Copies of this chain bind each other. A is one copy, B any other.
Amino acid sequence: MPNGAHALIRTLADAGVDTCFTNPGTSEIHLVAALDSVPEMRAVLTLFEGVATGAADGYARMAGRPAATLLHLGPGLGYGVANLHNARRAKVPVVSIVGDHATFHAGYDPPLQSDIETVAHNVSSWVRTSRSAQELARDAVDAVAAATGPPGQVATLIVPADVSWREGAEPLAPPQQPDPPPASPEAIEAVAGTLRRGGRTGILLGGRALHGRGLMAAARISAATGARLFAERSTPRLERGAGLPAVERLAYWPELAAKQLDGLEQLVLVDAKPPVSWFAYPGAPSSLAPPGCQVRELSPPSSDVLRSLEALVEALGAAAAEPALQSASRPEPPEGPLTAQKACQAIGAILPEGAIISDEAITSAVALPASTAGGPRHDWLTLTGGAIGQGLPVAVGAAIACPERPVLALEADGSAQYTIQSLWTMAREQLDVTVVIFNNRGYGILDAELGRLDEPSVGPKARALLTLGGPDVDFVELGTGYGVASQRVETAEELTGALQAAIADPGPHLIEAILPAVGRAE
């Protein structure tokens, strides 16, 4: 009979969880040792846990099923929390496995002992500590089911070392899960009534409604009823480009998002939440929908959103409606000294067919939606939970889920630093990722937030915390250090050329695009 570790990995693979992003330690050594006995399980090493958890997020966004993460006790999970937070907000499935001390050892309070469950509860509503090797396979099956949802979630399974090493375990085949139900006919009819009534109506799409079948159904509903389509600010996976329905994504700044929604009398939520400001400001409302706007949810989070949307299409007689589709257009390749806007244009000019864009360029990416809207079909993966350090790991996971598609990771210089070690995993796995660092040598978003304050005492100490100079980070050195072919560009022509060369050459590349510096006179 195999030990717990073998049974766990076999059970995960049989349940379709065949990729594991990890940074293991001693308490996980039996799980590491068991990997070779399950040939289907791919283990991807990361140098830092935040890379592992963000990669699992990116993988799930594109594969539509969970990867596992394998982390080392409470501190390892801690390093991974920020990107698990983003995965939670993306409502994607992740099976988060955390090794722990042997059950009999924990009571001695050894140095690495801590309350792992407290940390896990920040990102998981499903948390279980496995109690024996015999129960581990059942725990794994339950974790996969909990992660898969709907809604997808981070399911945390804590595995004490002796639960891994003890023998007498058996793998378990995954049980047939019942299909989640669509919204009730009454709920569908209520939303259909709202849409038939007319008036200024918006449909706010999130999560699973932003790509594939969901997006097409929403576009038919829009065409049949005149309701406008919006996307949540956080888009785990927004499919767009020429020939696809165009959806207007809500702006980051609350006054701009409120303007987009201004005048709406009704707002239907499809796998989305009532729109709120990312941060609060003195005297400003948190809610973004106009006062008096009736907000109604199509389908609860635990339901089958796609079937609900398609039932709504039926109810509205919209199956034959011709959805408005984006026409093809590309910006001209820009010229001259580089700015953030020109960098976005250059990306629009070269965007390859079927690209996956992992976008964490923050303030530098303001022009990106317009510059890529009419380009070839692509998926746009954005920051879902606001915890920066997501973009590079999400690119790792997306590239592993979709090895045939080119991945573009658009990164701010500030955000890139939290999980910069992602570059090494890109090189080791020879992932086809082109990383563009929008280097404005500062935290542009914080510079903007500071500018919004009515605060007389802002001085050099405060400003120094928003600028990343003294020394400037050299991303070409960092990329080279991690084994990624890297170059710096300072003009729009150089950027376009570098992008074309990177995309033509498989494997990872890094392009450091030098932009005007935040908060500095140049």
Task: Please report A residues at the B interface, Cβ cutoff 8 Å.
Answer: 6, 22, 24-27, 29-30, 32-37, 41, 43, 45, 47-48, 50, 74-76, 78-82, 85-86, 89, 101-102, 104-105, 108-112, 114-116, 118-119, 121-123, 161-162, 165, 233-234, 273-274, 276-280, 282, 286-287, 384-387, 389, 414, 417-418, 420-421, 424, 427-428, 445-446, 449-450, 453, 455, 457-462, 464-466, 468, 470-478, 480-483
Residue from the list B24, B115, B465, B470 in contact with A121, Cβ < 8 A = B115
Residue from the list B79, B446, B473 in contact with A482, Cβ < 8 A = B473
What's the minimum C-beta distance from A369 to chain B, rounded to whole angstroms? 18
Look across to chain B and name the residue whose beta carbon is closest to the beta carbon of A27.
B279
Given contacts A74-B81, A82-B78, A114-B122, is CB(A417)–CB(B427) below 8 Å? no
Given contacts A161-B279, A477-B478, is CB(A385)–CB(B111) below 8 Å? yes
User: Please, which residues of chain B bring their CB within 8 A of the CB of A279?
Assistant: 26-27, 101-102, 105, 110, 112, 161
Look across to chain B and name the residue whose beta carbon is closest to the beta carbon of A275.
B108
Residue from the list B47, B81, B234, B421 in contact with A75, Cβ < 8 A = B81
User: Please, which residues of chain B bring their CB within 8 A of the CB of A445?
Assistant: 26
User: Please, which residues of chain B bring their CB within 8 A of the CB of A85?
Assistant: 74-75, 78, 112, 114
Contact across chains for A461 and B25 when beta carbons are under 8 A apart = no
What's the minimum C-beta distance from A428 to chain B, rounded to whole angstroms? 5
What's the minimum C-beta distance from A76 to chain B, rounded to whole angstroms? 7
What's the minimum C-beta distance from A22 to chain B, rounded to whole angstroms? 7
Contact across chains for B386 and A112 when beta carbons are under 8 A apart = yes
Complex CA gap A445/B273 in Å reads 47
Look across to chain B and name the residue whose beta carbon is closest to the beta carbon of A430.
B470
Contact across chains for B81 and A453 when beta carbons are under 8 A apart = no
Complex CA gap A165/B282 in Å reads 8
Contact across chains for B48 and A417 when beta carbons are under 8 A apart = yes
Q: List 19 A-B contacts (CB under 8 A).
A: A22-B465, A24-B446, A30-B455, A35-B461, A74-B85, A74-B122, A78-B78, A78-B387, A79-B418, A102-B280, A108-B274, A111-B384, A112-B387, A118-B121, A161-B280, A417-B421, A474-B482, A476-B481, A481-B481
